[in-house]
Amino acid sequence: MGSIIPYFEKLRKEGADGQKKLNQITRYGTVALAAFNAITITVWLTNLSGGVVPNPGVLFHFTGIVTLVTGTMIVMWLGEQITEHGIGNGISLIIFAGIIARYPEGFIRMFQKVAVEPTYAWKAIFAVLLMIAVTAAVIYVTEATRKIPVQYAKRIVGRKVYGGQSTYIPLRVNTAGVIPIIFAQSVLMFPATIAAFFGTGGGFWVTLQRWLSPGAAIYTILYVALIIFFAYFYTAIVLNPTEMAENMVKYGGHIPGKKPGKRTAEYINTVLTRITLPGAVFFAFIALLPEIMSNRFDLPFYFGGTGLIIVVGVALDTLQQIESHLVMRHYDGFMKKGKLRGRSR
Protein backbone atom coordinates (compact mmCIF):
# COMPACT_ATOMS: atom_id res chain seq x y z
CA MET A 1 0.00 0.00 0.00
CA GLY A 2 3.00 2.26 0.47
CA SER A 3 3.42 2.40 -3.30
CA ILE A 4 -0.24 3.33 -3.93
CA ILE A 5 -1.45 5.46 -0.99
CA PRO A 6 0.55 8.71 -0.45
CA TYR A 7 0.01 8.65 3.33
CA PHE A 8 1.69 5.26 3.72
CA GLU A 9 4.45 6.26 1.32
CA LYS A 10 5.12 9.34 3.45
CA LEU A 11 5.29 7.23 6.63
CA ARG A 12 7.68 4.81 4.94
CA LYS A 13 10.12 7.67 4.25
CA GLU A 14 10.05 9.05 7.81
CA GLY A 15 12.55 6.54 9.19
CA ALA A 16 12.10 4.81 12.54
CA ASP A 17 9.09 6.88 13.65
CA GLY A 18 7.26 6.26 10.39
CA GLN A 19 8.02 2.53 10.53
CA LYS A 20 6.70 2.39 14.10
CA LYS A 21 3.45 4.02 12.97
CA LEU A 22 3.20 1.62 10.00
CA ASN A 23 3.66 -1.37 12.31
CA GLN A 24 0.87 -0.09 14.55
CA ILE A 25 -1.48 0.35 11.57
CA THR A 26 -0.53 -3.14 10.36
CA ARG A 27 -1.49 -4.64 13.73
CA TYR A 28 -4.89 -2.95 13.67
CA GLY A 29 -5.42 -4.14 10.09
CA THR A 30 -4.50 -7.66 11.14
CA VAL A 31 -7.09 -7.62 13.93
CA ALA A 32 -9.81 -6.38 11.53
CA LEU A 33 -8.93 -8.95 8.85
CA ALA A 34 -8.73 -11.76 11.42
CA ALA A 35 -12.15 -10.79 12.81
CA PHE A 36 -13.68 -10.85 9.32
CA ASN A 37 -12.17 -14.26 8.56
CA ALA A 38 -13.26 -15.58 11.96
CA ILE A 39 -16.87 -14.52 11.29
CA THR A 40 -16.90 -16.27 7.90
CA ILE A 41 -15.39 -19.44 9.43
CA THR A 42 -17.93 -19.65 12.26
CA VAL A 43 -20.83 -19.05 9.84
CA TRP A 44 -19.43 -21.71 7.49
CA LEU A 45 -19.14 -24.23 10.35
CA THR A 46 -22.73 -23.67 11.47
CA ASN A 47 -23.99 -24.19 7.90
CA LEU A 48 -22.21 -27.53 7.42
CA SER A 49 -24.45 -30.54 7.24
CA GLY A 50 -24.08 -33.39 9.72
CA GLY A 51 -24.35 -31.39 12.92
CA VAL A 52 -20.73 -30.23 13.16
CA VAL A 53 -21.80 -27.52 15.64
CA PRO A 54 -24.35 -28.96 18.12
CA ASN A 55 -25.38 -25.55 19.53
CA PRO A 56 -24.92 -22.87 16.82
CA GLY A 57 -25.89 -19.92 18.94
CA VAL A 58 -24.49 -16.51 19.80
CA LEU A 59 -22.10 -17.99 22.38
CA PHE A 60 -20.50 -20.26 19.77
CA HIS A 61 -19.94 -17.35 17.37
CA PHE A 62 -18.53 -15.16 20.15
CA THR A 63 -16.11 -17.76 21.53
CA GLY A 64 -15.08 -18.88 18.02
CA ILE A 65 -14.30 -15.34 16.88
CA VAL A 66 -12.41 -14.46 20.08
CA THR A 67 -10.39 -17.68 19.92
CA LEU A 68 -9.42 -17.30 16.26
CA VAL A 69 -8.52 -13.61 16.59
CA THR A 70 -6.48 -14.28 19.74
CA GLY A 71 -4.63 -17.10 18.03
CA THR A 72 -3.87 -14.84 15.07
CA MET A 73 -2.47 -12.13 17.35
CA ILE A 74 -0.30 -14.68 19.19
CA VAL A 75 1.13 -15.93 15.89
CA MET A 76 1.77 -12.32 14.79
CA TRP A 77 3.55 -11.61 18.09
CA LEU A 78 5.69 -14.75 17.68
CA GLY A 79 6.59 -13.64 14.16
CA GLU A 80 7.65 -10.21 15.42
CA GLN A 81 9.81 -11.80 18.14
CA ILE A 82 11.53 -14.03 15.56
CA THR A 83 12.14 -11.03 13.30
CA GLU A 84 13.55 -8.92 16.15
CA HIS A 85 15.66 -11.52 17.96
CA GLY A 86 16.29 -14.15 15.30
CA ILE A 87 17.23 -14.40 11.63
CA GLY A 88 14.81 -13.83 8.78
CA ASN A 89 11.22 -12.65 8.63
CA GLY A 90 9.29 -14.24 11.48
CA ILE A 91 5.84 -14.53 9.85
CA SER A 92 7.37 -15.84 6.63
CA LEU A 93 9.30 -18.50 8.57
CA ILE A 94 6.12 -19.61 10.38
CA ILE A 95 4.29 -19.95 7.03
CA PHE A 96 7.37 -21.73 5.63
CA ALA A 97 7.30 -24.25 8.50
CA GLY A 98 3.57 -24.86 8.02
CA ILE A 99 4.04 -25.66 4.32
CA ILE A 100 7.10 -27.87 4.83
CA ALA A 101 5.40 -29.80 7.66
CA ARG A 102 2.85 -31.21 5.18
CA TYR A 103 5.42 -32.74 2.82
CA PRO A 104 6.63 -35.72 4.96
CA GLU A 105 3.07 -36.99 5.46
CA GLY A 106 2.42 -36.67 1.73
CA PHE A 107 5.53 -38.65 0.83
CA ILE A 108 4.58 -41.34 3.36
CA ARG A 109 1.16 -41.68 1.72
CA MET A 110 2.83 -41.90 -1.68
CA PHE A 111 5.17 -44.70 -0.50
CA GLN A 112 2.21 -46.53 1.04
CA LYS A 113 0.44 -46.32 -2.30
CA VAL A 114 3.52 -47.79 -4.01
CA ALA A 115 3.49 -50.70 -1.52
CA VAL A 116 -0.16 -51.43 -2.29
CA GLU A 117 0.10 -50.77 -6.04
CA PRO A 118 3.59 -51.68 -7.38
CA THR A 119 2.79 -50.33 -10.87
CA TYR A 120 2.56 -46.86 -9.32
CA ALA A 121 6.30 -46.92 -8.54
CA TRP A 122 7.43 -45.61 -11.94
CA LYS A 123 4.90 -42.82 -11.81
CA ALA A 124 6.04 -41.92 -8.28
CA ILE A 125 9.72 -41.88 -9.32
CA PHE A 126 8.97 -39.62 -12.27
CA ALA A 127 6.88 -37.34 -10.03
CA VAL A 128 9.75 -37.00 -7.52
CA LEU A 129 12.24 -36.20 -10.30
CA LEU A 130 9.81 -33.63 -11.71
CA MET A 131 9.43 -32.03 -8.28
CA ILE A 132 13.21 -31.70 -7.95
CA ALA A 133 13.49 -30.18 -11.45
CA VAL A 134 10.61 -27.75 -10.83
CA THR A 135 12.07 -26.64 -7.49
CA ALA A 136 15.45 -25.99 -9.14
CA ALA A 137 13.70 -24.03 -11.91
CA VAL A 138 11.81 -21.90 -9.39
CA ILE A 139 15.07 -21.11 -7.58
CA TYR A 140 16.74 -20.19 -10.87
CA VAL A 141 13.90 -17.91 -12.03
CA THR A 142 13.53 -16.31 -8.57
CA GLU A 143 17.23 -15.39 -8.55
CA ALA A 144 17.39 -14.46 -12.27
CA THR A 145 18.19 -10.79 -12.94
CA ARG A 146 18.86 -8.61 -15.95
CA LYS A 147 21.84 -6.36 -15.19
CA ILE A 148 21.72 -2.93 -16.86
CA PRO A 149 25.19 -1.31 -16.83
CA VAL A 150 25.43 2.21 -15.35
CA GLN A 151 28.46 4.52 -15.63
CA TYR A 152 28.96 7.31 -13.10
CA ALA A 153 30.97 10.37 -14.07
CA LYS A 154 33.88 11.64 -11.96
CA ARG A 155 33.21 14.55 -9.64
CA ILE A 156 35.92 16.49 -7.81
CA VAL A 157 34.90 18.05 -4.50
CA GLY A 158 37.88 19.78 -2.93
CA ARG A 159 40.69 17.26 -3.05
CA LYS A 160 38.41 14.22 -3.15
CA VAL A 161 37.25 12.45 -6.30
CA TYR A 162 33.79 10.90 -6.34
CA GLY A 163 32.23 8.59 -8.94
CA GLY A 164 34.01 7.43 -12.03
CA GLN A 165 32.96 3.83 -11.51
CA SER A 166 30.82 1.30 -13.35
CA THR A 167 27.96 -0.55 -11.69
CA TYR A 168 24.64 -2.02 -12.76
CA ILE A 169 20.92 -2.00 -12.00
CA PRO A 170 19.67 -5.55 -11.20
CA LEU A 171 16.15 -6.00 -12.59
CA ARG A 172 14.56 -9.23 -11.39
CA VAL A 173 12.70 -11.43 -13.82
CA ASN A 174 10.12 -12.04 -11.09
CA THR A 175 9.82 -8.68 -9.36
CA ALA A 176 6.27 -9.32 -8.15
CA GLY A 177 7.02 -12.66 -6.47
CA VAL A 178 3.97 -14.60 -5.31
CA ILE A 179 1.69 -11.53 -5.26
CA PRO A 180 0.15 -12.03 -8.78
CA ILE A 181 -0.95 -15.59 -7.94
CA ILE A 182 -2.56 -14.48 -4.66
CA PHE A 183 -4.35 -11.57 -6.37
CA ALA A 184 -5.57 -13.81 -9.21
CA GLN A 185 -6.93 -16.39 -6.76
CA SER A 186 -8.72 -13.67 -4.77
CA VAL A 187 -10.33 -12.13 -7.86
CA LEU A 188 -11.61 -15.48 -9.13
CA MET A 189 -12.74 -16.58 -5.67
CA PHE A 190 -15.07 -13.58 -5.24
CA PRO A 191 -17.51 -14.26 -8.14
CA ALA A 192 -17.33 -18.01 -7.45
CA THR A 193 -18.39 -17.39 -3.84
CA ILE A 194 -21.31 -15.21 -4.93
CA ALA A 195 -22.34 -17.86 -7.47
CA ALA A 196 -22.25 -20.54 -4.78
CA PHE A 197 -24.40 -18.36 -2.49
CA PHE A 198 -27.11 -17.67 -5.10
CA GLY A 199 -26.77 -20.88 -7.07
CA THR A 200 -28.87 -23.18 -4.90
CA GLY A 201 -31.78 -23.17 -7.31
CA GLY A 202 -29.87 -23.86 -10.52
CA GLY A 203 -29.75 -21.84 -13.72
CA PHE A 204 -27.16 -19.18 -14.51
CA TRP A 205 -25.49 -19.19 -11.09
CA VAL A 206 -24.83 -22.93 -11.21
CA THR A 207 -23.33 -22.57 -14.69
CA LEU A 208 -21.15 -19.66 -13.52
CA GLN A 209 -20.01 -21.67 -10.50
CA ARG A 210 -19.06 -24.58 -12.77
CA TRP A 211 -17.12 -22.25 -15.12
CA LEU A 212 -15.19 -20.71 -12.22
CA SER A 213 -14.31 -24.01 -10.54
CA PRO A 214 -10.61 -25.06 -10.55
CA GLY A 215 -9.95 -27.34 -13.48
CA ALA A 216 -12.52 -25.77 -15.82
CA ALA A 217 -11.18 -24.37 -19.11
CA ILE A 218 -12.55 -20.84 -18.54
CA TYR A 219 -11.14 -20.78 -14.99
CA THR A 220 -7.69 -21.82 -16.24
CA ILE A 221 -7.65 -19.19 -19.01
CA LEU A 222 -8.77 -16.41 -16.65
CA TYR A 223 -6.33 -17.59 -13.98
CA VAL A 224 -3.31 -17.42 -16.32
CA ALA A 225 -4.42 -14.08 -17.81
CA LEU A 226 -4.88 -12.52 -14.35
CA ILE A 227 -1.48 -13.76 -13.14
CA ILE A 228 0.23 -12.15 -16.15
CA PHE A 229 -1.79 -8.94 -15.70
CA PHE A 230 -1.01 -8.61 -11.98
CA ALA A 231 2.67 -9.40 -12.62
CA TYR A 232 2.88 -6.33 -14.88
CA PHE A 233 0.65 -4.29 -12.57
CA TYR A 234 2.68 -4.97 -9.43
CA THR A 235 6.00 -4.49 -11.25
CA ALA A 236 4.80 -1.10 -12.48
CA ILE A 237 3.92 -0.13 -8.90
CA VAL A 238 7.20 -1.31 -7.35
CA LEU A 239 9.59 -0.06 -10.06
CA ASN A 240 9.22 3.40 -11.59
CA PRO A 241 11.54 3.81 -14.64
CA THR A 242 11.08 7.60 -14.66
CA GLU A 243 12.14 7.89 -11.02
CA MET A 244 15.11 5.58 -11.62
CA ALA A 245 16.24 7.72 -14.58
CA GLU A 246 15.90 10.91 -12.53
CA ASN A 247 17.99 9.43 -9.70
CA MET A 248 20.73 8.48 -12.16
CA VAL A 249 20.84 12.05 -13.50
CA LYS A 250 20.87 13.38 -9.93
CA TYR A 251 23.97 11.35 -9.02
CA GLY A 252 25.74 11.78 -12.35
CA GLY A 253 25.05 8.34 -13.78
CA HIS A 254 23.99 7.22 -17.23
CA ILE A 255 23.43 4.04 -19.21
CA PRO A 256 26.08 3.72 -21.95
CA GLY A 257 24.55 4.49 -25.34
CA LYS A 258 21.37 6.00 -23.88
CA LYS A 259 20.65 9.68 -23.33
CA PRO A 260 19.90 10.61 -19.71
CA GLY A 261 16.33 11.36 -18.79
CA LYS A 262 13.41 10.30 -20.97
CA ARG A 263 15.42 7.95 -23.24
CA THR A 264 16.85 6.14 -20.21
CA ALA A 265 13.37 5.74 -18.66
CA GLU A 266 12.01 4.34 -21.95
CA TYR A 267 14.90 1.87 -22.18
CA ILE A 268 14.38 0.63 -18.59
CA ASN A 269 10.64 0.31 -19.21
CA THR A 270 11.28 -1.71 -22.40
CA VAL A 271 13.62 -4.08 -20.56
CA LEU A 272 11.10 -4.52 -17.72
CA THR A 273 8.31 -5.27 -20.19
CA ARG A 274 10.39 -7.93 -21.95
CA ILE A 275 11.70 -9.75 -18.87
CA THR A 276 8.40 -9.68 -16.94
CA LEU A 277 6.47 -11.72 -19.52
CA PRO A 278 8.54 -14.96 -19.35
CA GLY A 279 8.66 -14.74 -15.55
CA ALA A 280 4.88 -14.28 -15.36
CA VAL A 281 4.22 -17.18 -17.76
CA PHE A 282 6.57 -19.44 -15.78
CA PHE A 283 4.89 -18.69 -12.46
CA ALA A 284 1.47 -19.14 -14.08
CA PHE A 285 2.64 -22.66 -14.91
CA ILE A 286 3.78 -23.13 -11.30
CA ALA A 287 0.32 -21.99 -10.15
CA LEU A 288 -1.29 -24.70 -12.32
CA LEU A 289 1.24 -27.33 -11.27
CA PRO A 290 -0.76 -28.77 -8.30
CA GLU A 291 -3.66 -29.60 -10.60
CA ILE A 292 -1.29 -31.18 -13.15
CA MET A 293 0.49 -33.25 -10.50
CA SER A 294 -2.81 -34.40 -9.01
CA ASN A 295 -4.47 -35.35 -12.32
CA ARG A 296 -1.50 -36.73 -14.29
CA PHE A 297 0.55 -38.35 -11.53
CA ASP A 298 -2.16 -38.97 -8.94
CA LEU A 299 0.00 -37.23 -6.34
CA PRO A 300 -1.57 -37.66 -2.88
CA PHE A 301 -0.45 -34.24 -1.60
CA TYR A 302 -0.34 -30.60 -2.68
CA PHE A 303 2.85 -29.58 -4.49
CA GLY A 304 3.53 -26.35 -6.34
CA GLY A 305 1.53 -23.14 -6.50
CA THR A 306 1.97 -20.41 -3.92
CA GLY A 307 3.38 -22.87 -1.37
CA LEU A 308 6.42 -23.76 -3.48
CA ILE A 309 7.15 -20.12 -4.37
CA ILE A 310 6.87 -19.07 -0.71
CA VAL A 311 9.15 -21.92 0.43
CA VAL A 312 11.82 -21.04 -2.15
CA GLY A 313 11.59 -17.29 -1.50
CA VAL A 314 11.78 -17.60 2.30
CA ALA A 315 14.62 -20.14 2.13
CA LEU A 316 16.70 -17.94 -0.20
CA ASP A 317 16.05 -14.81 1.88
CA THR A 318 16.98 -16.59 5.13
CA LEU A 319 20.17 -18.02 3.61
CA GLN A 320 21.18 -14.54 2.42
CA GLN A 321 20.64 -13.11 5.90
CA ILE A 322 22.62 -15.93 7.49
CA GLU A 323 25.44 -15.31 5.03
CA SER A 324 25.44 -11.58 5.80
CA HIS A 325 25.60 -12.32 9.55
CA LEU A 326 28.54 -14.68 8.99
CA VAL A 327 30.38 -12.02 6.98
CA MET A 328 29.74 -9.42 9.68
CA ARG A 329 31.01 -11.74 12.40
CA HIS A 330 34.05 -12.64 10.31
CA TYR A 331 35.05 -9.00 9.89
CA ASP A 332 34.28 -8.25 13.54
CA GLY A 333 36.58 -11.05 14.63
CA PHE A 334 39.29 -9.87 12.22
CA MET A 335 39.17 -6.35 13.66
CA LYS A 336 39.41 -7.66 17.25
CA LYS A 337 42.46 -9.72 16.35
CA GLY A 338 44.03 -6.66 14.76
CA LYS A 339 43.53 -4.60 17.93
CA LEU A 340 45.00 -7.35 20.11
CA ARG A 341 48.04 -7.62 17.89
CA GLY A 342 48.53 -3.88 17.96
CA ARG A 343 48.42 -3.84 21.74
CA SER A 344 50.87 -6.72 22.08
CA ARG A 345 53.34 -4.87 19.90
pLDDT of residue 334: 39
Helices (H), the chain: 6-12, 16-47, 58-85, 90-100, 102-116, 120-143, 179-198, 204-211, 217-238, 241-250, 262-296, 305-344
Question: How far is the C-alpha of 72 from the C-alpha of 68, rounded, in Å?
Answer: 6
Q: What is the tens place of the pLDDT at every residue in 218-273?
A: 888 998 999 999 999 988 888 888 888 888 888 778 888 888 888 888 889 999 98
Residue 339 pLDDT more than 70?
no
Lowest mean pLDDT among 27-36, 162-171, 289-298: 162-171
pLDDT exceeds 60 at position 343: no
pLDDT of residue 48: 75
- The CA-atom distances, in angstroms, between 300 and each of 93, 103, 293 are 25, 10, 9
pLDDT of residue 3: 67
Question: Quick count: other Cβ atoms within 10 Å of Cβ 293?
Answer: 21
**Per-residue pLDDT reduced to its tens digit, 96-154:** 898 888 888 888 888 888 888 888 888 888 888 888 998 999 999 888 888 888 887 76
Mean pLDDT estimate for the chain:
82
- pTM confidence score: 0.75
Supply the pLDDT for residue 332: 47
How confident is the model at residue 123, as a pLDDT?
83
